[in-house]
Amino acid sequence: MTSFIPFARPDIGQEEIDAVVEAMRSDWLTTGPVTQRFEHAFAETIGGVEAVAVNSATAGLHLAAEAIGIGPGDEVITTTHTFTATAEVVRYLGADPVFVDCDATTLNIDPARIEAAVTPRTKAIIVVHFGGLACDMDPIITIARRHGLQIIEDAAHALPTTYKGSMIGSLDTAATIYSFYATKTLVTGEGGMLVTRDPAIAKRARTMRLHGIDRDVFDRFTSSQSKWRYEIVAPGFKYNMTDVAAAMGLPQLRKMHLLHEKRSALATAYDEAFADLPLQLPAHPQPGDVHAWHLYVVRLRDETPMDRDGFIEGMAARGVGCSVHYIPLHLQPYWRDKYELRPEDFPASTDAFSRAVSIPLFSRMTTGERDTVIESVQSLLGRD
Ligand SMILES: *Cc1c(COP(=O)(O)O)cnc(C)c1O
């Protein structure tokens, strides 16, 4: 019996192990020269931005929302079809998320519904590039300009993703945040990166990620004068990335395109193998654009011989781990009760949730594992 195929598995090689050991043997451990190198390399990868390394995407989203001035009484429009981190950071600042439905095909936020949700209290929009497929950013940027709103991009799934030929992260928005959580397309265990084209947002995020200190610890300890002096300019947070984590991130970043090619090839294999099955397959980007393929989400059609839970159980019985992205926020007790949200107000997300299954897709998957996943789906849906 072959072993269980997990839903996700990090792709850690000898380079990462060697780099982490080297960082552990250095005198730094916490934020220092390796983190700075990781930031520079990441900024170069995106192009035309500053990068601020943090200990999670949640931290990065919080810092971005704080840096653009979100506060009590403000509203921030976001999608219901996401992980709770996207919206909880709005509550950290005493503001209110306003949830809108997703597009039924892409599962990304529906631009038409954004405009309908704008009120005099609206300050910003947080978009999520679901699964690694870019949101249609042009209309969203147009709506934001028309109403004087800022845009934050939750790019936890979107490395490397492009929109009309440009890397996500390099578009004309306030800030973009990546996650390096263990299941994401680049991993540091826990970690994240805030990128921005706005030097004022970068400066504020750097200050607030470390206690509101006006200079990075690294600069403080290495600049020629006043090694001990620092100033607290705000009640900041403790969101800095460690050099041990950044050491893992650097070789991961160098391999980004290689790892993406492997995920892309798996997505193509799934597309072909599942084409004739009673499944709705994931949406693709416009020709020439890149889907990061963090997730491969299929949806069961009405004629599928079992429901979503039955499908996941059947896959597990065949040794394949699946997941669901997401249980929409409007169905979660906290959000549902606080904002009196009803399933019928989010028909696309509610329907997607009832049908969606995320199939394992990770760069370290062997061809044998890939074939097991494909054969499991085919046999479960009655094609042997
Ligand atoms: C993973 C994820 C996050 C949170 O990332 P962390 O690095 O774990 O804080 C936020 N938004 C989305 C859409 C995610 O998938």
Residue 181 Cβ inside 6 Å of ligand 1? The answer reads yes
Q: What is the distance between the terminal CA atoms of the chain, rounded to a whole angstrom? A: 19
- Considering only CA atoms, which of 262, 218, 225, 267 is closest in space to residue 240? 218
Show the tokens assigned to 75.
């509203």
Is 56's C-beta closer than 6 angstroms to any atom of ligand 1? yes
Task: Residue count of the chain, please give it.
Answer: 384
Q: Find tokens 């004022």 and name the residue.
A: 200
Nearest to 143 by CA among 161, 128, 124: 124
Evaluate if residue 384 carries a pLDDT over 80.
no
In the prediction, which pLDDT does 3 show?
85
CA neighbours closer than 13 Å in the CB half-sphere of residue 354: 10
Q: Is residue 218 pLDDT above 90, yes or no?
A: no
Q: What is the pLDDT of residues 347-374, one digit of tens each?
A: 999 999 999 999 999 999 999 999 999 9
Q: Which ranges of 26-56 does DSSP label H, i.e. alpha helix? A: 33-46
Q: What is the pLDDT of residues 93-131, one digit of tens each?
A: 999 999 999 999 999 999 999 999 999 999 999 999 999
Please report the pLDDT score of residue 229 as a whole number.
84
Is the pLDDT score of 21 beyond 70?
Answer: yes
Is the distance from CB of 152 to CB of 125 less than 8 angstroms? yes
Q: How far apart are the C-alpha atoms of 359 and 315, rounded to whole Å?
A: 9
**SS3 label, residue 378:** helix
Three-state SS sequence of 235-282: CCCECECCHHHHHHHHHHHHCHHHHHHHHHHHHHHHHHHHCCCCEECC
pLDDT digits (tens, 9 = 90+) for 126-153: 999 999 999 999 999 999 999 999 999 9
- Closest residue CA from atom 2 of ligand 1: 156
Chain segment 175-189, per-residue pLDDT in tens: 999 999 999 999 999
What's the whole-number average pLDDT of the chain? Answer: 96
Indicate the DSSP class of residue 181. Answer: B
pLDDT-derived band at 247, boundaries 50, 70, 90: very high
Q: What is the DSSP string of 193-243?
A: EEEES-HHHHHHHHHHTBTTBSS-HHHHHHSSS-SS---B-S---B-BPPH
Q: Using a 6 Å cutoff on CB, does residue 86 contact ligand 1?
A: yes
- Look up 184 and say whether it is catalytic: yes
How far apart are the C-alpha atoms of 229 and 220, rounded to whole Å? Answer: 8
Confirm if 127 and 154 have CB atoms less than 8 A apart: yes
Rounded Cα distance, 325 and 356, in Å: 7
Nearest residue by C-alpha to atom 10 in ligand 1: 85
Reduce the DSSP state of residue 172 to 3 states and report it.
coil
Percent of the chain with pLDDT over 70: 96
Ligand 1 pocket test: pick from 79, 80, 82, 83 the residue with the most ligand atoms within 8 Å of its Cβ. 83
C-alpha of residue 58 to centroid of ligand 1, in Å: 6
Is residue 223 scored above 70 in pLDDT? no
Is the CB of 154 inside a 6 Å radius of any atom of ligand 1?
A: yes
Asked whether 82 lines ligand 1 (CB < 6 A), one says yes
Q: Which two tokens stand for residue 341?
A: 């949200």
Ligand 1, residues 62, 63, 79, 86: which to mutate, most atoms within 8 A of Cβ?
86
Active-site pick, 184, 203, 227, 262:
184
Q: Rounded CA gap, 249 and 247, in Å?
A: 5
E strand spans, the chain = 50-54, 75-79, 96-100, 122-128, 150-154, 162-163, 166-167, 175-179, 192-196, 279-280, 297-300, 356-358
Please give the Cα distance from 312 to 309 (Å, whole number): 5
Give the position, in ligand 1's atom list, of the atom nearest the Cα of 130. Answer: 13
* 313, 319 contact by CB (below 8 A): no
Q: Over range 142-171, report the average pLDDT.
A: 98
Torsion angle (degrees, nearest 10) of CA 62, 66, 72, 77: -60
pLDDT of residue 228: 81
CB 291 within 8 A of CB 266: no
> Is the Cβ atom of 106 under 6 angstroms away from ligand 1?
no
Average pLDDT for 164-173: 98
How many angstroms is it from 57 CA to the middle of ligand 1? Answer: 5
- Where residue 214 falls among pLDDT bands split at 50, 70, 90? confident
89 closest CA partner among 135, 56, 134, 114:
56
Separation of alpha carbons 174 and 23, rounded Å: 32
Give pLDDT, residue 226. 65
On the question of pLDDT at 170 being above 60, the answer is yes
Work out which ligand 1 atom sits closest to the CA atom of 190. 7
Residue 57 Cβ inside 6 Å of ligand 1? The answer reads yes
